[in-house]
Every structure is written in C-alpha cells, then in structure tokens.
Amino acid sequence: MTATPDAPRRRRAPLAPWFTGALRTLGSIAATMLGLLFVTFLIGRVMPIDPVLAIVGERASQETYDQVYRQLGLDQPMIVQFAYYIWDVVRGEFGMSLLNARPVAEDIARVFPATLELATIGVLIGIVFGIPLGVISAVRQGSWIDQIARVVALVGYSMPIFWLGLIGLLIFYGILGWVGGPGRLDIFYQGIVPDRTGMILIDSAIAGNWDVFRNAFSHIVLPASLLGYYSLAYISRMTRSFMLEQLSAEYVTTARVKGMSEWSVIWGHAFRNIRVQLITVIALSYANLLEGSVLTEIIFAWPGIGSYITTALLSADMNAVLGGTVVVGLIFICLNIFSDLLYRVFDPRSK
Amino acid sequence: MTFFTRTLAGVGLAATLLTGTATLTLAQTPDNMLVIANRIDDITSLDPAESFEFAGSDVSRNIYQKLVNFDPGDLDAGYQPEVAESWEVSEDGRTITFTIRDGLTFHSGNPVRAEDVEFSLRRVVELNLTPAFILTQFGFTADNVEETIVADGNTVTIVTDKPYATSFVLNCLTATIGGIVDKELVLANEQDGDLGNNWLKTNSAGSGAYKLVSWTPNESVTLESNPDYYLGSPSMERVIVRHVQESASQRLLLERGDIDMARNLNPEDIAGAREAEGVKIHDELRGRLMYVALNQKHPELSKPEVRQAIKYLIDYEGMEGSFLDGQYTIHQNFLPQTFLGAVDENPFSLNVERAKELLAEAGVESMELEVGVREAQERIEIAQTLQNTFAQAGITLNITVGTAKQILGRYRARELDVYLGAWGPDYPDPHTNAGTFAYNPDNSDEANATGLLAWRNAWDTGGLTEKVEAAVVENDREMRQQMYADIQAEFRETSPFAIMFQKIEQAAMRDNVENVNLGGATTAVSYWVIEK
C-alpha cells in the first residue's frame, strides 16, 4: 500500500526521496479512502433496509413517504448521490443521523473515546501478557507451558465472545461482585467529573476524583480483559511462531556456542529481530479492537462505536452507519501507516 | 534468575497490577432515585410535536402536561382534567372551549397560560411532523389554525370541521402530541423559523412532574423532579433510564441491585428473576396486538369460508402456553382490552375438523400460501406454528422472513398472500384501531391508502367503513361503546384478519418499588406516583 524503497528514478526532477515518499503515501491514502467510501456507499444502497420507512414509520401515508424520499435525495441518480456523499465527507461531515437528527460526526466524537479507552487497555493487556507468553512457549517448545499457551490461544480464538462475556459478567459481577456491571460507571457516579477527553479513567484522574476512577476501573476491567484475552491469543500465537523461526536460525546457535547467556540470546538477539513483525501484529490487533468489538460493547452496555454502528444499522440510520464505517476505515489506514513508519525506524535495513 | 523465572515474575507483577482491585462493595440505588434499564434506542426526538415511539412517550408523559390526561391511579376512568380545569361543548358539537387551570407553572417559572396552549396545539399543526395527523384529522390545517385554535383570556377554543364525538377529540389530546410547551422558552430557542423543534428534540419546556436533565441517544435519559408540580413533589427525585440491550444484562443488573427495574426481560429471564431474592414481577396489559392478515386479492383467501377456516387453524392456546409464556394473552378483537369499547369474546380455537369442513364448502382442497414475517424471534416462532397447523388442513404455508423494507414494502404494495405482524394503537381512542382495521373508503389500487390495514389487504369492509364513520361522531359514550362492540362482532366473523394476542408487559423490579404504572394499553409510564 505504501511506498517501496526503490522509487522509480526520474532523470530531471530530483525530488527528495522523503518528498516522493510522502506524496505516494498521501496518494495511496486518498485512493484507499475513495475505495472505502465507494464500497460503504454501495453497501448502504443495496442493503435491504429502508431509511425512509425508518423515519416516517410504518403507518405514514404514501405522500409523506415520497416527500422524505425526495428530501433524502434518493430520487437522484446513484452517481449524483455518491458525488454529494463524497463532498460531504471531504468537508468532514457525515450528514445528520436520520434518527436523532444530530450531526453524525458529533455522535462519533462522543462515542469514540469510550471505544478508544476500552481497546487501548485491551491491547495493552494483549501485549503485556501475549508477548512473554509467546516467547516462553517458543523457548520451551513442547513443554507444559507451551501446551497451556497453545490451549489458551486456541480457546481465545474459538470461543464466542458474547458467551465468554456473559459468563464473565455472571461470575465476576453477578456472583462474586468483584467488578462493576454493564455500563461505564455506576449510575450515581455519572456526570460527576467534567468531560475533557471522553475517557473516564483519564478524566477522573485529571479531576483527582479517585472514587470515580476506581468505579470506572471496576467497570472496564472485565470487558477490557475479555478483549485483552482475544488480543493476547492472537499476539502470543504470532510471537511464538516468529520466535520459533528465529530460534532455529544459525546466528542463535552461534551466539549460544559463544557462551552468551540464554537471556541475552533470547531477548537481545532473537526478540530484537521480531520486533518489527510484532509491531504489525499489534497494530492490526489494536485496529480490530478499535473497530469496536461489537458484541463486547453490546453485552457490557458500553456506549462505543461498535454499539453505535450496530444500533444505527438495526434502525436503518444509514448516515450513521456510513459515517461510522468511514471512521473505522480511517483508523485501519492510519494504524497501517503508523506501523509502516515504525517499521522504518526499527528495521536496520531501512536506515 | 533464569530467563524463564524472570519473565514469569514480570508477567505475575503485571497481573497483580491489573487485577488488583479489592472486592468492591456495590451500593444499592439511593432511596430518592429510580434507575431503570430499558431499550431506548427508538427515541428520535423528545419534542412532543414529533415524538412517536414507546420510550419517547414514556419521557414525554412525565415532562409535559396536557389539557386532559389519564390518572395513573385509575386509567379506566378515562381522560381527566389537567391543564384544562373544565370544558364545554357547543350545541353543534364542533366547538370545545377549555378553561385553563389557575396557578400552574412551567419548569422555567413561567405561568401556564391559555396562550401557551394555543401555541402548543397550533405548533403541532404548523410543523406537521409524523404524529401530527392525530390533531389534523379534526380538520386543522396550517392555514386555518388562527381561526380554529384560539386563546381568549383564560380559555382556549378549538373548532373541528365536523361534530366528532367529544370523547374522540379529548382522547386524542391525551396523546404525546397534546403536550403543552412553554411558549416563551421555546420561542427564545427558535432557529430559522422551526418553532423550536430542533431545540426541543433534546431539551424540555414542560410543566409536568419531571424535567429533562439529559438525553444521550442509545445511552440514557435523566429526569429530575419538579418540586412545584401541582399534585405535589414526586417521591423519586431523579429518574434515570439506561439503555441496556441484552435481557441477560438487565437481569444481572437487577439482581445485583444496581437498577430498580428491568423492562425488557425475555420469558426465560422473567422465570429466572422470579426466583431471585428481592425481585418481583409486575404484569400489565399493553396495547400491542399480534395478528395474521389474508390478502383479499388472492382468489381463494377472499372466500368467506376460507377466512373463517383459517381462524380455526390457529393454535392460540398452544402458543400462549409455550413460547409466548406470560408475554401475550389471547385476544381476538381489534380493540385492545382496557380500551373504550373493548370486548373480550374470543370464540376461535384450534379446530382442524371445522376448518376442513369450511374449506370443503369453499371448494378448496389444498393450496400453497406465502406468509411474510419480519425478523423477530417470537414472530418467526408463531409463523412456524401456523405452518404446522395449516398443514393439517392441507394448506402449505411458505415462510418468508425479511427486514422491514422487504416485508413491509411488499405488504404495503398488497403483494403478500399472508402477513403476520403486530399493531399498536397510535392514540388512546377506539377510532385509532377501528380506522385502521375496519375502515377502507376506497379499495382501489390507485387509492394507495398504505396507512390502512384494511386497504393493505385489499379488503372492502362490507359496510363496516360506514359504521366506523358513524361511531366516531357518536356523542353518547355508552352508545359509542356499543357501536364498537357491534363492529367488532361483525369484524371477528367477516374480516380477513385473525387477531390472536395482546401484549403483556412484564417488568421485573426490586420489591421495594411501589405504585408502578406502565400506562396500560392507553398511555405511557407514570414515574411521579412511584415510591420505594
């Protein structure tokens, strides 16, 4: 997707490589976005959902129906509708939500921090536990710890998230009462700390209100652990296979023969070489979580972008669905570029 | 330390940090606060001129007063004076003059005046949003409201285009659309001549028992009590309705004591919650009906014997006793129980022999039909049950499941053989359902009366249309009631509709919550009477 190191040589215009590189990156972002917009737009049109009916209701007269149909521009040719749509998005507008008549962009800005907070903690859990686990199971391939790690990863891969979520709620919230229930805060804590970032943990820390902080933490710990578990399963599996590849390489044997400590062979040599690959894995995993792990958000009544898009979809609020999809797409693209940049920083060959 | 133990120690430390929350003592909801879990994703606007959904009506009923309103303590008594202290009807039955009660104030502190009533009702007509028909059906238009809805001193006069039954007009004024808004406050927030519509979507300007603190779509609605409410300050100072989609999550919150009431538990969770300590279940009849309709364009379905036969091919009791357990009750009439004019005759039950005889009389040996069903668990289960019982009389029923666009689109275009669906009254007067099920003045395709169920099924009502028209202008309440009973008796036998069930809402709540009234079939929930 992004520039390869060997850009085509031009004879006359010796532009700085960073410049052409940046230009290419921008160009590919634009192309990807356009493609994404086109696909989401198309999906929006072919979906068996009627936005007009959603607005006017089941019992409206044909005249009202037709009027709203025209108001939404649905009587225009598809290409014209698409042009309008692009124009809106370019101006940073996703139109008004058909259902609550507020700007979709505003809605997304409101729900996104909730997802960001949840996904960030989730991916951190994935990193903190997943990488060591992957490394250990590679080093002790075939040992009991490797077996356990593989089972953990397998379960994480195959267990339906809503089931695990409900069981988790039942045990840790319902029976044991160790964590907070669905929602981001207990109701009496709502609206106490001023809304600065939209992320309650950060907002309450800024406000120095540790009661709210603790309460928010008790609510996020379960859904974040659940998401963390899924990202852990993925990260540890990938780490394991990357490490196995490195450990069987000649330089590792050489290092061992030279009498280096096991610790520095593993962390100093082998692990160094997989960092770059891991960055991509982590970025992907993070993007997946940010996309709003829909079911997790629904089960935990977590008002993030996943449940926003789902609700919008169920109520045929196409502007909201499209806006949400575009934002999620943008996140994917940005994280891809970001991991690409880190690649260059970390990969010695790119220097 | 080897690499292994060092790594393990690191992981262990991180684990301790992450899961190191001490056991939390979860507080119960405060005594002066009512916390409810409900699905509120249907709310699109809280402007009474626009709001037309269940969760929105719940909010509106508690924020806005109306000229006349239902008393939660006695819904059967019908509309009672509220903002209007009394009213008089002219000789010709077209003019109603309301006298406005003294001493009422809006949440803003402004007095409630006749002018506010005039503004509120005119506003509905001028904005002409989706539910406006509830008022405009009396002949009010943007052009004539200046003459037809007029304030004078402490009275407001409305003039209808025909002498309708007074009960019909007043019942309509108890709908959400009849909410009286604070003229000064609303006009102060007007944008581009929208009569404050945009502002009122998310703000309140009422005089009811509660004022709106905030509504965050798909998240929560927060209300605060009005200490100056004319019936006394409500016991619950705050009411918070939180959007929780999942039945299982609602039940957990309730059993843990984090909420006071859960409004969307499925039958399994209701059964579970019944066993839980400190939880009770409140059952209340609501207005929603479940029905099957037969398209009269179908040559066989249009035969009277076939219509009858199908009513004998439905296993009402079987369904009520199994998967609909406790959430629907058998009801075979188009007026929900508790409505003015409602009757409780349910003559049909599963009788395959009788159905076969009727089909034989009609000369139908076997046929294949398509039923359209929208994706909803209970509806699909009903369709499957129908498929089974229809088959016993030689009718093959093919089920098509789809979204609203797919199924409703075809229903509205008169293309489905059979439709299985639900219908809820638009406003608390018998005319709402009579006008939908038994009224069809022009059965031609060109009429395109998609709002009328009789038209959607291409049913020429055989004289019921005229009877519905007569009932809506009958001023004697008892007489009017009798007319609806008669219409329904005929409807049961002749119509292509098999009305099957009426909705029962089961709300689960902590057992210290008292005086809950969800509004029955006629209105919405009343928070101001609730105590704990």
Q: Which two tokens stand for residue B510?
A: 């902590």
A344/B502: higher pLDDT: B502
CA angle (B28, B29, B30) in 5-degree steps: 110
* A151 CA: distance to closest CA in chain B (Å): 18
Tell me the pLDDT band of A349, cut-offs 50, 70 and 90.
Answer: low
Angstrom distance (rounded) from CA B276 to CA A287: 41
Asked if B436's CB is within 8 angstroms of A59's CB, the reply is: yes
The beta strands (E) that lie in B102-251 are given as 149-152, 155-159, 210-216, 220-225, 238-243
According to DSSP, the β-strands at B279-294 and B497-510 are antiparallel
Q: Which two tokens stand for residue B110?
A: 């402004």
- pLDDT higher than threshold 50 for residue B20: no
Angstrom distance (rounded) from CA B415 to CA B398: 15
Angstrom distance (rounded) from CA A101 to CA A312: 12
Contact A44, A318 (CB under 8 A): yes
Contact B400, B368 (CB under 8 A): no
Give CA B259 to chain center in angstroms. 24
pLDDT value for A295: 82
pLDDT value for B24: 39
Among A45, A131, A32, which Cα is nearest to A329's?
Answer: A32
- pLDDT higher than threshold 70 for residue A145: yes
- pLDDT higher than threshold 90 for residue B230: yes
Tell me the pLDDT band of B23, cut-offs 50, 70 and 90.
Answer: very low
Output the DSSP codes for B503-518.
Answer: EEEEEEEETT-B----
The whole-chain average pLDDT of chain B stands at: 91
Three-state helix/strand/coil letters over B36-100: EEECCCCCCCCCCCCCCCHHHHHHHHHHCCCCEEECCCCHHHCEEECCEEEEEECCCCCEEEEEE
pLDDT value for A2: 44
Enter the DSSP assignment of A170.
I
Instruction: Point out the residue among B24, B217, B245 whose CB comes nearest to the CB of A178.
Output: B24
Q: How far apart are the first and last CA of chain B?
A: 61
Residues of B in contact with A188 (CB under 8 A): 27, 29-30, 33
CA angle (A54, A55, A57) in 5-degree steps: 70
Instruction: Point out the residue among B11, B27, B426 whose CB comes nearest to the CB of A59.
Output: B426
Contact A212, A105 (CB under 8 A): no
Contact B257, B278 (CB under 8 A): yes
Picking from A203-212, A284-293, B148-157, B450-459, which range would have the lowest pLDDT averaged per residue?
Answer: A284-293
B455/B14: higher pLDDT: B455
pLDDT value for A247: 86
* B167 CA: distance to closest CA in chain A (Å): 23
Q: What is the mean pLDDT of residues B371-395?
A: 93
Tell me the pLDDT band of A15, cut-offs 50, 70 and 90.
Answer: low
Flag whether the ipTM exceeds 0.85.
no
Share of chain B above pLDDT 70, in %: 95
pLDDT value for B212: 96
pLDDT value for A255: 85
Sequence-ordered list of residues with C-beta below 8 angstroms from that of B380, at least 6 positions apart, any chain = B373, B399, B401
Contact A201, A231 (CB under 8 A): no
The position carrying tokens 């009005």 is B226
Instruction: Fill in the amino acid letter for B296.
Output: Q
Residue B108, exposed/middle/buried by CB under 10 A (0-12, 13-18, 19+)?
Answer: middle
- pLDDT higher than threshold 60 for residue B62: yes
Contact A161, A226 (CB under 8 A): yes
Asked if A186's CB is within 8 angstroms of B27's CB, the reply is: yes
pLDDT value for B415: 92
Q: What is the mean pLDDT of residues A30-38?
A: 84
- B150 vs A: CB within 8 A: no
423-442 of B, contacting A, C-beta below 8 A: 426, 436
For B63-108, how does the pLDDT look when each residue is reduced to its tens digit (9 = 90+)? 999 999 999 999 888 899 999 999 999 999 899 999 999 999 999 9
- A208 vs B: CB within 8 A: no
Q: What is the mean pLDDT of residues A141-153?
A: 88
Asked if B244's CB is within 8 angstroms of A301's CB, the reply is: yes
DSSP three-state, residue A31: helix
Asked if B218's CB is within 8 angstroms of A183's CB, the reply is: no
Sequence-ordered list of residues with C-beta below 8 angstroms from that of B495, at least 6 positions apart, any chain = B307, B437, B438, B459, B461, B464
DSSP three-state, residue A145: helix
Asked if B10's CB is within 8 angstroms of A53's CB, the reply is: no
Instruction: Point out the residue among B15, B52, B405 whose CB comes nearest to the CB of A49.
Output: B405
- pLDDT higher than threshold 60 for residue B491: yes
For B123-145, how does the pLDDT look when each residue is reduced to its tens digit (9 = 90+)? 999 999 889 999 999 999 999 99
| Top-ranked range on mean pLDDT: pick from A292-301, B71-80, B299-308 | B299-308
Asked if A48's CB is within 8 angstroms of B406's CB, the reply is: yes
pLDDT value for A157: 78
Angstrom distance (rounded) from CA B278 to CA A108: 39
* B368 CA: distance to closest CA in chain A (Å): 26
Give CA B50 to chain center in angstroms. 15
Contact B425, B435 (CB under 8 A): no
The position carrying tokens 């506010």 is B116
Asked if B24's CB is within 8 angstroms of A177's CB, the reply is: yes
pLDDT value for B2: 52
* B245 CA: distance to closest CA in chain A (Å): 7
Q: What is the mean pLDDT of residues B351-361?
A: 96
Picking from A74-83, A210-219, A341-350, which range would have the lowest pLDDT averaged per residue?
Answer: A341-350
Q: How many CB pairs under 8 A join A and B?
A: 168
Asked if B404's CB is within 8 angstroms of A177's CB, the reply is: no
pLDDT value for B82: 96
Give CA B143 to chain center in angstroms. 31
pLDDT value for A3: 43
pLDDT value for B346: 96
Angstrom distance (rounded) from CA A171 to CA A180: 12
pLDDT value for B6: 53
Sequence-ordered list of residues with C-beta below 8 angstroms from that of B176, at least 6 positions apart, any chain = B48, B51, B52, B56, B57, B60, B61, B64, B131, B524
Contact B85, B71 (CB under 8 A): no
Residues of A in contact with B2 (CB under 8 A): 262-263
Picking from A77-86, A291-300, B347-356, which range would have the lowest pLDDT averaged per residue?
Answer: A291-300
User: CB neighbours (10 Å) of residue B319?
Assistant: 23
- Alpha-helical segments (H) within B226-281: 247-256, 267-275
Tell me the pLDDT band of A22, cut-offs 50, 70 and 90.
Answer: confident
- A313 vs B: CB within 8 A: no
Give the residue from B17, B213, B258, B277 with the most A CB atoms within 10 Å of its CB, the best one to mutate. Answer: B258
Sequence-ordered list of residues with C-beta below 8 angstroms from that of A23, at least 6 positions apart, any chain = none
Residues of B in contact with A143 (CB under 8 A): none
How many Cα atoms are found within 13 Å in the side-chain-facing hemisphere of A299?
22
Contact B173, B137 (CB under 8 A): no
- pLDDT higher than threshold 70 for residue A35: yes
pLDDT value for A292: 62
Picking from B36-45, B168-177, B509-518, which range would have the lowest pLDDT averaged per residue?
Answer: B36-45
Picking from A343-347, B145-149, B229-233, which range would have the lowest pLDDT averaged per residue?
Answer: A343-347
pLDDT value for A4: 46
Angstrom distance (rounded) from CA B440 to CA B447: 10
Q: What is the mean pLDDT of residues A119-142?
A: 92
- pLDDT higher than threshold 90 for residue A288: no
Q: What are phi and psi of B520, to 5 degrees?
A: 55, -150
Q: What is the mean pLDDT of residues B358-371?
A: 94
| Top-ranked range on mean pLDDT: pick from A24-28, A170-174, A193-197, B225-229 | B225-229
Residue B307, exposed/middle/buried by CB under 10 A (0-12, 13-18, 19+)?
Answer: buried
Asked if B29's CB is within 8 angstroms of A136's CB, the reply is: no
- How many residues would you count in chain A? 351
User: CA of A84: how far to CAs of A47, A53, A96, A99, A131, in Å?
Assistant: 19, 22, 14, 20, 46
Q: Which residue is closest to A307 within chain B, CA to CA?
A: B218
pTM over 0.95: no
CA angle (A96, A98, A102) in 5-degree steps: 40
CA angle (A66, A70, A74) in 5-degree steps: 110
Q: How far apart are the first and last CA of chain A?
A: 20
Angstrom distance (rounded) from CA B47 to CA B176: 9
